[in-house]
């Protein structure tokens, strides 16, 4: 079966990228911008909130090793899908929780994943399902940011590192390091 892609926005792309980099079956994760109206937006423009783009990740994965449904379940477990246009102290539509399906099948899976995830949350999930639109890779310094700079960045140590620890504990059987050790 051919490699597939998932495009997800769940707040700061440094966090989302760091989570999916660790998942068995994920072959690559690229941070970028999607869902907006400006061609080739910059990080500064997106952070300003006026472009309509979300900070997102494009995940390439092997569907024989991980399903799109499993990717969505990890996604919902690793950010707060009940916060409208924010994740923690990151506020604005650029930090929205959104799924950008690549096919009608992915859209149906996204709707089902929202229903599954709702059982884990007291508040309503506000994650949107938006049409797939132009993808703009983020600047090079954002790619693999946590892996390269996380320990030197106070934001990463306060926000990304705890999220990653929780993910690694909750999804230990899905970690690439587990696969290598096994």
Burial 156-172 (b: 16+ CB within 10 A, else e): beebbbebbeebeeebe
Catalytic residue list: 12
Specify the 3-state DSSP secondary structure of 88: coil
CA atoms of 62 and 3, how far apart (whole Å): 5
Q: Which residue matches tokens 């059987």? A: 173
Q: Which H/E stretch holds residue 161?
A: helix 161-170
């Amino acid at each position: 079966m051919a490699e597939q892609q998932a495009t997800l926005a769940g707040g700061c792309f440094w966090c989302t990228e760091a989570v999916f980099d660790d998942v068995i079956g994920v072959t690559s994760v690229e941070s970028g911008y999607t869902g907006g109206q400006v061609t080739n937006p910059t990080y500064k423009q997106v952070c300003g909130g006026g472009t309509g783009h979300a900070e997102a990740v494009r995940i390439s994965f092997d569907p024989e090793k991980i399903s799109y449904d499993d990717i969505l379940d990890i996604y919902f477990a690793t950010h707060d899908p009940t916060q409208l246009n924010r994740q923690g102290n990151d506020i604005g539509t650029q930090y929205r929780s959104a799924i950008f399906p690549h096919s009608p099948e992915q859209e149906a899976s996204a709707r089902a994943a929202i229903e599954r995830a709702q059982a884990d949350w007291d508040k309503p999930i506000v994650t949107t399902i938006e049409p797939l639109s132009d993808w703009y890779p983020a600047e090079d310094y954002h790619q693999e940011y946590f892996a390269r700079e996380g320990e030197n960045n106070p934001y990463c140590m306060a926000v990304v590192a705890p999220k990653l620890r929780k993910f690694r504990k909750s999804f230990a059987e899905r970690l690439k390091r587990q696969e290598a050790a096994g």
